[in-house]
Structure 1
Amino acid sequence: MTIKKYIQSDLLLLLCGTIWGFAFVAQRLGMDHVGPFTFNGIRFFLGAMVLVPFICRRRELRQKQQIQNKGLMVYGALAGLAIFAGASLQQVGLVYTTAGKAGFITGLYVVIVPIMGLLWGQRTNLGTWGGALIAAVGMYLLSVNEDFRISFGDLLELIGAFMWASHIHLIGWASPKTDSLRLAFIQFMFCSGASLLTAMAIETIRMDDIVAAALPIFYGGALSVGVAYTLQVVGQKNAHPAHAAILLSLEAVFAAVGGWLILGEVMSVRGLVGCALMLSGMLLSQLYGLVVKKGPKPGVS
């Protein structure tokens, strides 16, 4: 592996984290015009469409396709249900909290994943528990007020982080059995359909509003869902695991930066300290196993 390839992979992952971070801003801006389920329905449809050319270009033996397609719809539906839950909680939560806070709270999934893995016998290490403790303290400083209450939006984002962690476990279980791009396409389409059905039931959908929200929807769908997913897959092929963990965790930082630059969001000193602790906890949980050369690899579900 040449240094040039390492640098290229790191740049791709950095771009991926940047796109995902600023997507929180797009999600906030989009809801100035459309409801959260309308936004997600169109967003994930666009993301699925971005994958179509990649799926069409991939040529496989017919026998292999038949084997992979046996459980594809079931796996895709399960993964799509998890994405629908996580994305819905995230999008509705953004109505009540800031993009920066949502980014950091959502990022807690990297700590939650190995802890959830204990339920089915996966091993973890001291870094996971230390990271979880540090992140919990950070979460308290960021979201819990003097009356020991957490805001409604932050609570939704926290529950959503558990849904994103569940999705990672589902993908870890299903992806070795299926084609990854087809699985991604089906899960995105399933999420889009569920979101649009919910939107038709509880929201008012108007074409003028969709046109007004076109730019945030395009960013959140075509770029955040479609392009960034592809960048992650390509970038992680040659990236050092430690580099990948750090660069993708920067998603939360870019969400806060985007909220500050574009939306004018400002955090208190207490909130900033909380964010710093949460990011430290995320990184510790991901990197500890690499440093001590034992325990599960970061992100393995």
Structure 2
Amino acid sequence: MVLPKKPLFLGLLLLGTAFWGISYSVVKTGVGYADPYSFQTYKFLMAAAAVALLFPRQLAQLRWGTMGWGLLLALPQFLGSTLQTIGLQTTSAANAAFLTGLSVLLVPLGKAPLLYREAVAPQMWAACALALVGLYVVAVPGGWHLHAGDGWILAGAVAFAGYVLLGGRTAREPHLMAILVVQLLGCAGLARLSGWGAGYALAVPTAGA
């Protein structure tokens, strides 16, 4: 039995949102065992391997144009993820979730007056505001408290908004999973280069960690 596309996509969106929320606690725990650059390297390599195993036929269609889009998307995703990972070392998971959620508002701002010059419906602004209020209620129930890492998280939210805006340009490209694999490998490479530049050798997990 084939499910109708709309309920299927809605279910996947809800599932992705749940994993997104859980990820803040996971990342905060992970960076307690390794530097942010090593953590990022392993994370993106594992993600690339998982997508490649799930969509091997798309990888067979890899072309230079596909690689170009993947590498272009890797930059804002890497910046957003790395800034967020650095910030999580010195802020709470709740603060990180709320500040990253500000990208919900930054995306229509980028579409309207800044980049695409596209009109944004009033309903969209209302939905963004409602989403932010809901996120604050869920993520910061005990009230807002500033932490040293909040600035890093906010900068990461700007990078994530740029990633979403750029990703919208690739939505009609064929072989999106191949683009994603290249993108994730590009993020892993950028993480390793940044780690070397910052003086961090690649951390090797041990059984006692």
TM-score band by shorter chain is 0.7 to 0.9
Q: Which amino acid in structure 2 is aligned with residue 163 of structure 1?
A: A
Aligned twin of 1:299 = none
User: Does the Cα contact within 8 Å between 1:75 and 1:183 map onto a contact in 2?
Assistant: yes
Instruction: Pick from 183, 186, 189 the counterpart of residue 190 of structure 1.
Output: 186
Q: Please state if 1:165 is matched with 2:161.
A: yes
- TM-score (structure 2 length as normaliser): 0.80
Letter in 2 for 1:28: K
Q: Does 1:113 align with 2:95?
A: no
CA contact (8 A) 2:58 2:175 kept: no
CA deviations 1:218-257 (Å, max 9, x no partner) are xxxxxxxxxxxxxxxxxxxxxxxxxxxxxxxxxxxxxxxx
C-alpha contact 1:83 1:164 (8 A) present in aligned 2:
yes
Distance 1:59 1:204 in 2: 31
Q: Could you list the runs of 5+ residues in structure 1 that have no partner in the other structure?
A: 215-301
In structure 2, the CA distance between the partners of 1:127 and 1:45, relative to structure 1 (3 Å rule), is same
The separation in 2 between residues aligned to 1:130 and 1:4, in whole angstroms, is 28
Q: 2:104, 2:128 within 8 Å by CA — same for their partners in 1?
A: no
- Measured against aligned partners, the alpha-carbon deviations of 1:145-164 in whole angstroms (never above 9, x if no partner) come to 6xxxx644122211211111
1:27-49 CA-partner distances (Å, limit 9, x unpaired): 11111110111101110110000
TM-score, length-scaled by structure 1? 0.57
Task: Say what the alpha-carbon RMSD is for the aligned residues.
Answer: 3.1
Instruction: Determine the C-alpha separation between the residues in 1 that align with 2:183 and 2:42.
Output: 14
Gaps of 5+ in 2: none
Does structure 1 conserve the Cα–Cα contact (< 8 Å) formed by 2:69 and 2:179? Answer: yes
The alignment-based identity, stated in percent, is 26
Contact 1:80 1:188 in 2 (8 A): yes
- Cα gap change, 1:9 to 1:90, in 2 (>3 Å): same
The residue identity in structure 2 corresponding to 1:27 is V
Secondary structure of 1:187's aligned partner? helix
Q: Find the structure with the greater CA-based Rg.
A: 1
Distance 1:95 1:212, change over 3 A: farther
Matches of 1:213 and 1:183, distance apart in 2: 37
- Deviation per CA, 1:182-228: give whole Å up to 9, x if none: 11111110001110121233224332xx23698xxxxxxxxxxxxxx
Matching of residue 25 in structure 1 with residue 25 in structure 2: yes
- Aligned-partner Cα distance in 2 for 1:72–1:52: 14
> What residue in structure 2 maps to residue 46 of structure 1?
46
Q: Using the TM superposition, give the Cα deviation of residue 115 of structure 1 relative to its aligned residue in structure 2, in angstroms.
A: 1.1
Distance apart, 1:165 and its partner CA: 1.1
- Check whether the contact 1:110–1:165 (CA below 8 A) recurs between aligned residues: yes
Choose 106-115 or 32-41, whichever is displaced more: 106-115
Q: Which residue of 2 aligns with 1:77?
A: 71
Q: Tell me the SS of whatever aligns to 2:169.
A: helix
Of 201, 208, 211, which aligns to 2:206? 211
Cα displacement (A) at 1:5: 7.0
Structure 1 residues 10 and 57, CA gap change in structure 2 (3 angstroms): same
CA distances 1:237-281 after superposition (whole Å, capped 9, x unpaired): xxxxxxxxxxxxxxxxxxxxxxxxxxxxxxxxxxxxxxxxxxxxx
Q: Number of residues paired by the alignment? A: 199
